[in-house]
Amino acid sequence: YIYFTGNVFVVSLAVADLIVAIYPYPLVLTSVFHNGWKLGYLHCQISGFLMGLSVIGSIFNITGIAINRYCYICHSLKYDKLYSDRNSLCYIVLIWVLTFVAIVPNLFVGSLQYDPRIYSCTFAQSVSSAYTIAVVFFHFLLPIAVVTFCYLRIWILVIQVRRRVKPDNNPRLKPHDFRNFVTMFVVFVLFAVCWAPLN
């Protein structure tokens, strides 16, 4: 199960990352060459929407991966039931539904505007302070808190296993599982460091 479910979440994360390469980034290059946005309001809104979809989708997928790894390593007896093939696909659908729900309000509050500093249409924090606070909390701080909790619990278990404090629990902690965990932890840290200044 771990190979299917783990790969499903990673593929979903890859899709989130590729969204910006398909539409927003080419428009960013156009803005760089023209030293400003020359493509009109509609393209700005679509580009900003897809940019937000990619960022929020990445954050939510990273959160989903952290929860998946946490359940696999720290709650191994319940894992197969929690992450059956069907349930895993449902979780992916839920992640993207939540992503759409999180980003759609931007179209109605007028927060998608061109930012000359980054040559792209993106979320403008100056539109509404209350909305900005809500966005930062629900789209960044809360997911980061969940991911941090999951990885801290995994690290604690790793330390316990290394010290053989709980040898009878027989947790799923094979070498390749540990490598996968470390890889995703590094991805999370780099993502948080890169996006924190923008939030």
How much is the CA Rg of the chain, to the nearest whole Å? 19
Residue whose C-alpha is closest to residue 150's, from 66, 78, 88, 75 = 66
Q: If you average pLDDT over every residue of the chain, what do you get? A: 84
Residue 176 has pLDDT above 70, yes or no: no
Residues 90 and 131: their CA atoms lie apart, in Å, by 29
Q: What is the pLDDT, as a whole number, of residue 132?
A: 83
Higher pLDDT, 180 or 121: 121
| pLDDT exceeds cutoff 80 at 180 | no
Helix (H) or strand (E) run with residue 52 in it: helix 40-74
Who contacts 116 (Cβ-Cβ below 8 Å, separation ≥6)?
Answer: 36
pLDDT at 140: 87
pLDDT at 175: 63
For residue 112, which amino acid is it?
Answer: L
* CATH no. of 1-196: 1.20.1070.10
Q: Residue 142 above 70 pLDDT?
A: yes
Three-state DSSP class for 120? Answer: strand
